[in-house]
Amino acid sequence: CSDDFLEYQPEGYLSVEDAATAENAEALVVAAYAGIANDEMIGPLTSMWVYGSVRSDDAYKGGGGRSDVDIIDRYEQYNLTIADDPSDWMGPRTWTNYYKAISRANFALEVINDIPDENYADKTLRQAELRFLRAHSHFMLKLLFKKIPYITEGLTQEETLEISNDVDNDALWNTIADDFLFAYNNLPQSQEQVGRADRNAAAAYLAKLRLYQAYEQNETHQVTNINLDRLQEVIDYADEVTGDLEADYGNNFLNGYDNGAESIWAAQFSINDGTTVSRVSFVMGLNSPHGTGLYGCCGFHLASQNMVNAFKTDASGLPLIDTFNDSNIFNTVDSNGEAPLAAGITLDPRIDHTVGIPGRPFKYRNTVSESGDMIYNFSWARDPGVYGYFGNMKEQQAPDCSCYVKEGPFIGTSKNIDFIRYADVLLFKAEALIQRNEVDAGITIINRIRERAAASTQRQIDAGATNVYNMGTYPMGMSKEDAIKALMFERRLEFGMEGPRFFDLVRWGVAEQVLNAYLDVEKTRKDFLANANFTAGRDEYYPIPQREIDFTGGLYVQNPGY
């Protein structure tokens, strides 16, 4: 009787045995998908605005002065060398969150591997999806931390703790690629459930991975060689990707276009789905305009003056690649809180999809019924004395959007976050072509991107934007050097403030050169940058979180400089 009395079974839980069954295999796969989108404001997984945009020349941290979420200020200033930083925000949490996602995929794989083939028709398919998910997380980790342990299924805790992060850089790329290859070889080109990984996404990812891999880095992150064979793979995989560009560039950043032709691989979000605060994304919750009752908080992630200047075009509608930053545009605010454009300047229309500019319509709207004016105004800026007044636009939705939820001070939306869109795949290919000296073929692709951008002005003009657009295409017959510059510049304009910028600069091996040149000028405009300086051989990557080194008994190797 006494043993009966002492027998207490958990209420409302599953045991490991109950969870690890064939019946639950599908559910465990769903949980693994959820894992890649379980990010948080202070440990992001999806949007790379902190790591890729603020850390580059695209954007400032924003918010209420430098001390507001000061960990991002340290990223922005490349000032991260306190080993035991008491703040546990951002980098270390992102590390943890990706490995959580990886562990979900691995657990599902363990369960599925053990199910006899004849009992599970979708076995290989699901294995391929899970390996894709696992590779995705490792890929993102690698962009941030470079040296990472690659964790596969079926390991005990002890075995997991023996996996070092000190592996050959090229070999690590190949390890990640193996998972993507398995996915590529075993997934259908598209899946009925659009949120699932498919062969198309695997091909795009392989193109992306081989592109990064092609720029071979040494221990201090310098690019020592560009591997042309890898670039050929980029071209081959890119050709396997089916997709199209959205007719209007802005569609990519609007509710209603999730999983469209341009969205190759994305994190899925949803609203009114019965979850506590809706499965919306709050990863950009700090980033809505501050000084307007329409949004209310918190004015982070603001376009740099340099970024705004980059959208200038010359008489032939081409960007001023070498001289764009010699003069500022939209740099005076009149008494109406608007920043008129000086006469004679023309713009790439993508600026009005990317940046909130005083006096210009925001999110293609000049009114929101009953909610007031949607012309971006100087007063929407939170701390203009420090960070200026340019806002971010791609991340925002109109406050009357059915995708929009305000929880506490922060705004989330059910808009998907794209990891790879088709424009990216095209430019991967263009980059590979140009590096392989197939310049005209590359420029042709760039021009396709530009033509779509040129055609993406209708919404702004309808909303009352002054039509100052002038877009042109590049001529054939450019030199390889000029074509590479054009490619680099095009990527910046096309993906402005979407996050890839910093990783592009590191891939190309030009981060130190570009960012310190940017800071030299930008600090004369914004004195909060007065002491910022990028240190080559260190600031290309984040430090391995000290606690992870400690928890593995010093097994992990720290990145140089930290």
532: Cβ contacts below 8 Å, ≥ 6 apart:
76, 77, 78, 79, 519, 523
- List the structure tokens of 62: 């924003």
Q: Please report, as residue ranges, which positions from 268 to 297 form the binding site for other proteins (by CB under 8 A).
A: 268-279, 282, 285, 290-291, 293, 296-297
The correct pick among 243, 250, 359, 412 for binding other proteins (CB under 8 A) is: 412
Between 317 and 384, CB nearer to other proteins: 384
Nearest to 269 by CA among 77, 118, 403: 403
Size of the site for other proteins (CB under 8 A): 117
Residue 295 Cα distances to 214, 359, 535, angstroms = 43, 18, 37
Name the minimum Å distance from CB 502 to other proteins: 22
Q: What x/- string results for residues 223 through 242 when contact with other proteins is judged by CB under 8 A?
A: --------------------
Cα–Cα distance, 526 to 138 (Å, whole number): 36
> Which residue lies nearer to other proteins by CB, 442 or 543?
543
Residues 506-535 within binding reach of other proteins (CB under 8 A): 527-528, 530-531
SS3 category, 120: coil
Determine how many CB atoms are found less than 10 A away from the CB of residue 279.
18
How many alpha carbons lie under 13 Å from residue 441 in its C-beta half-sphere? 13
Shortest Å, Cβ 300 to other proteins? 11
Binds other proteins (CB under 8 A): choice among 22, 552, 560, 561: 552
Burial class (CB in 10 A: 0-12, 13-18, 19+), 366: middle
Cα separation, 433 vs 438, whole angstroms: 5
The C-alpha atoms of residue 515 and residue 197 are separated, in whole angstroms, by 35
Residue 219 interacts with other proteins (CB under 8 A)?
no
Q: Which two tokens stand for residue 66?
A: 């430098």
Query: Rounded to the nearest whole angstrom, what is the least distance from the CB of residue 369 to other proteins in the complex?
Result: 16
Least Å from the CB of residue 315 to other proteins: 36
The smaller minimum CB distance to other proteins, of residues 67 and 369, is found at 67
> What binding mask, one character per residue, do residues 295-334 give for other proteins by CB under 8 A, x or -?
-xxx------------------------------------
Distances (CA, A) of 521 to 51, 325, 524: 22, 9, 6
Q: To the nearest whole angstrom, how small is the minimum distance from the Cβ of residue 372 to other proteins?
A: 13
**Per CB under 8 A, which of residues 154..193 are in contact with other proteins?**
157, 160-161, 163, 193
Chain centre distance of CA 216:
22
Does position 370 interact with other proteins (CB under 8 A)? The reply is no
Min CB(190)–other proteins separation in Å: 12
Work out which of 175, 195, 236, 368 binds other proteins, going by CB under 8 A. Answer: 195
Please report, as residue ranges, which positions from 90 to 149 form the binding site for other proteins (by CB under 8 A).
95-96, 99-104, 106-107, 149
